[in-house]
Amino acid sequence: MISSTGLFQGRHGKTVDTPELLQFALAGLKNGSIYALVALGFTIVYASTGVLNFAQGEFVMLGGMLSVWAYSTLGLPLPLAGLLGVLLTGLVGVIFELLAIRPRKDGDPLALIIITVGGSMLLSSLARHLFGPTEKALPRFSEGSVNIFGASLERQSLWIFGIAAVAVVLLTFMYSYTRLGKAMRACAIDRNAARLVGIEPRMMVTLSFGLAAILGGLAGLATTPLTQTAFNVGPSFGVKGFAAAILGGLGNPFAAVLGGLTLGLLESMSVAFISSTYKDAISLIILLLVLFVRPQGLFGGSSRQKV
Amino acid sequence: MRAARRTLLALTLVIALAVVPLAGCSSTDGGESTDNGTDEAKEPYRIGAVLSMTGTYAGLGEPEKNALEMEVARINEDGGVNGHPIEIIYEDDATDADTAVAATSRLIDKEGVLAIIGATGTGGTMAMRGEINRAGIPQISPAGGTVITGDFDPLVFQTPWSNSLVVPYTLDYIAEQGISKIGIIADSGGFGADGLAVLEANLADAGLEAVATEAFNAGDTDMSAQLTKIQGAGAEAVVMWTAGKEASIIATNMKDLGMTIPLYGSHGNARVEFIEGAGAAAEGFRFAAGKILIPEAYGDTTEAYQVALDFIDRYSAEYGKAPDTFAGHAYDALHITVNAMSTLDEDFTAAELRDAIEATTGFVGIGGTFTYGADDHNGMTADDLVMYEVKDGTWVLAE
């Protein structure tokens, strides 16, 4: 199949021109912004617990499914339905933490990671039983697309970029300048020391799961109009978001977003110049190479604790 | 104390959440089978059904199970076959080939079924073959892969139109529109990879050239890059082969990229969810499939038209929505099996049942008119297909 493409390109002398290259870049950034939003959710939980939450993809699924439910079944207008869907997802995140994470009091990261894997299976089975097996759609927030130097981009993608940008600014501000953010980070560094200075670590962990779920819910709400959603989309979002978070550097919101965009660009450039069949393999190989050279991720600070 | 109680509470909740849906399913299943067993004096004929109730193909397995449940109830109300009621034992393969094999073993060894309908997917269907051969019972698959009957096994039958039937029909149609260069985009999974192989094998016969061939994976969120490549290669039409929800992403991506060349799909896209997901971008989308979507296509004086209308009416009344093609494939699988049973003596063997299924001639089902033969276990022809076009949010017959 590679040869048939090559044959044609040779005969017509067709190479990748500038608008086309720009289109590839936009396609990559579009996917990348989705990965970035999911990666941010990983970052929040990691920043307060040192744990990778493998149920993060399910929060994305729930954000979409609950918004569709509020929009189609309850008949709410889209903004209200989206708000309800995202808030309910946040509530699920809090309940998930209280029921599944908190009872494991010693905070052993390995045990907690396994719990999140089990939790993700439970959440997707529940969604399957509550909402049925078929895929669901939402209307776009804004229709149409914009033309950028001959390449086009859906307006809906601008929403995703916007949400990611606002989220990263707010999170960076929170972690650097607010007591709450500093308290969350303190919990990940040393729970007991954090408790000694008057921080309630359990509260911080619950909050971080709620916040991560809200962010995942936002990602689900913003991407469903483009991709539809279904009970089983969680794991693929989770894997891409996880890869993005690792590529950028765990625990740092800004690095997570850059990691997501980089991963998206890598994939689309693989399609453009090598082969769409191997795009996931190519980006994962690059991810591994990066980790060999920079275990803390491309944009992670060198002082971060090792992953 | 407090912590222990809380842990207990958490555990109870989790278990309750996990068990309640399961309990719901098994109690209804159990209820049905005892009804069937006790109502009749004669032993029921037991048929196994391996369907994807969860996992990627859950959206296909559900209508299949609906159709089977409805039709079995009707057959039993009419007195069953040779006075024996039909009992179907359902297994969920979770869209996983290994689970399908385990389910098949259970149906054979524990339930002693006479035939198995399944699996929903091509992967599961193929994986079950070893167990089917061990037991020597017939398998009737509602999955669409060409390999199911292409890689011939005397015990295995198929009810959907296979890619080897739909692909040449679609390519010929495209060539008739005056198109010579196409771009292909297919998913890397079973249905897409199967379709891609058949597409590449049939391009030359149809007089078409593939100027770009692109792939994507299930779960991908955007296909703009692949489509940009197809557009850059100068394709005059895009041919998409996938049965997943990514189909509607491809349609919307094309619209957003401002691509005006036509998009052709396959019978894998004959689902309302595709139109709902793609919205305005679905307009003008064409795909070939059987005639169930618009029963008038059968010709309104034909027997097939009556059979289809009857099925659509009863299914719509029972489940509140029209049956899709997958419900039709399960309907055909069951009725072909039951019809074969009715031609046999009361205590037939599995080998006799296989021979009787192979002898099916002119069975008017939902997918088309089936005539199996010693080397044809798909049983349909291109006459059973028709080209559809999406117009104003619904499918109409393409002119």
pLDDT reported for residue A190: 82
Question: Alpha helices of B259-382 — where are they, by DSSP H?
Answer: 272-278, 303-319, 325-342, 350-358
Q: How far is CA A27 from CA A44, A195, B14, B92, B278, in A?
A: 27, 46, 41, 38, 18
**A178-190 pLDDT, tens digit each:** 988 888 888 878 8
Q: Where are the domains of chain B?
A: 40-161+307-381, 163-289
**Could you confirm whether domain B163-289 is CATH 3.20.20.70?**
no
DSSP calls for A76-118: --HHHHHHHHHHHHHHHHHHHIIIIITTSTT--HHHHHHHHHH
pLDDT reported for residue A301: 65
- Give backbone dihedrals phi and psi of B325, rounded to 5 degrees, phi first: -65, -30
> Which residues are CB-contacts of B273 (< 8 A; sequence separation ≥ 6)?
A134, A135, A136, A137, A228, B59, B245, B248
Identify which of B84, B63, B77 has the alpha carbon closest to the alpha carbon of residue B332. Answer: B63
The residue among B190 and A42 whose pLDDT is bigger is A42
Highest mean pLDDT among A182-186, A291-295, B88-92, B187-191: B88-92
Check CB contact of B73 with chain A, cutoff 8 Å.
no
Please give the angle made by the CA atoms of B165, B169 and B171, to the nearest 5 degrees: 120
User: What tokens does A64 get?
Assistant: 């979409």
Cα B348 to its chain centre, rounded Å, is 29
The number of helix segments (H) and strand segments (E) in chain A equals 12, 2
**A270-285 pLDDT, tens digit each:** 988 888 888 888 888 8
> Which residues are CB-contacts of A160 (< 8 A; sequence separation ≥ 6)?
A30, A33, A34, A37, A219, A222, A223
Mean pLDDT of chain A: 85
User: What tokens does B76 get?
Assistant: 């039993």
User: What tokens does A65 get?
Assistant: 């499914």
Determine the Cα–Cα distance for residues A63 and A212; give it in Å rounded to an integer.
11
DSSP bridge partners of B49 = B90, B117
Check CB contact of B54 with chain A, cutoff 8 Å.
yes
Please give the angle made by the CA atoms of A32, A36 and A37, to the nearest 5 degrees: 125
Identify which of B283, B331, B388, B287 has the alpha carbon closest to the alpha carbon of residue B66. Answer: B331
Residue B292 pLDDT level (bands cut at 50, 70, 90)? confident
Residue A168 near residue B89, CB atoms below 8 Å: no
Residue B341 near residue B353, CB atoms below 8 Å: yes
Check CB contact of A202 with chain B, cutoff 8 Å.
no
Which residues of chain A neighbour B279 with C-beta distances below 8 Å? 137, 139
What is the average per-residue pLDDT within B326-350?
93
What is the average per-residue pLDDT within A148-172?
88
Determine the Cα–Cα distance for residues B276 and B393; give it in Å rounded to an integer.
8
- Give backbone dihedrals phi and psi of B177, rounded to 5 degrees, phi first: -80, 5
Residue B100 pLDDT level (bands cut at 50, 70, 90)? very high
Residue B340 to chain A, least CA–CA distance (Å): 33
Check CB contact of B180 with chain A, cutoff 8 Å.
no
Residue B319 near residue B54, CB atoms below 8 Å: no
Say if strands B363-364 and B369-370 run parallel, antiparallel, or are unpaired: antiparallel
Nearest CA in chain A to B258: A152
* Prediction ipTM score: 0.77
Determine the Cα–Cα distance for residues A106 and B391; give it in Å rounded to an integer.
60
Determine the Cα–Cα distance for residues A146 and B233; give it in Å rounded to an integer.
23
Residue B193 near residue B248, CB atoms below 8 Å: no
Determine the Cα–Cα distance for residues B255 and B224; give it in Å rounded to an integer.
10
pLDDT reported for residue B17: 52
Check CB contact of A284 with chain B, cutoff 8 Å.
no
Q: Taking the domain B40-161+307-381, which CATH number applies?
A: 3.40.50.2300
Residue B386 near residue B290, CB atoms below 8 Å: yes
For residue B282, the one-letter residue type is A
- Residues across chain A: 307
Determine the Cα–Cα distance for residues B295 and B308; give it in Å rounded to an integer.
6
- Give backbone dihedrals phi and psi of B121, rounded to 5 degrees, phi first: -100, 160
For residue B204, the one-letter residue type is A
What is the average per-residue pLDDT within A107-116?
86
Which residues of chain A neighbour B277 with C-beta distances below 8 Å? 135, 137, 228
Determine the Cα–Cα distance for residues A271 and B229; give it in Å rounded to an integer.
8
Check CB contact of B241 with chain A, cutoff 8 Å.
no
Interface test with B, best of A14, A18, A135 (most B CBs within 10 A): A135
Determine the Cα–Cα distance for residues B123 and B57; give it in Å rounded to an integer.
11
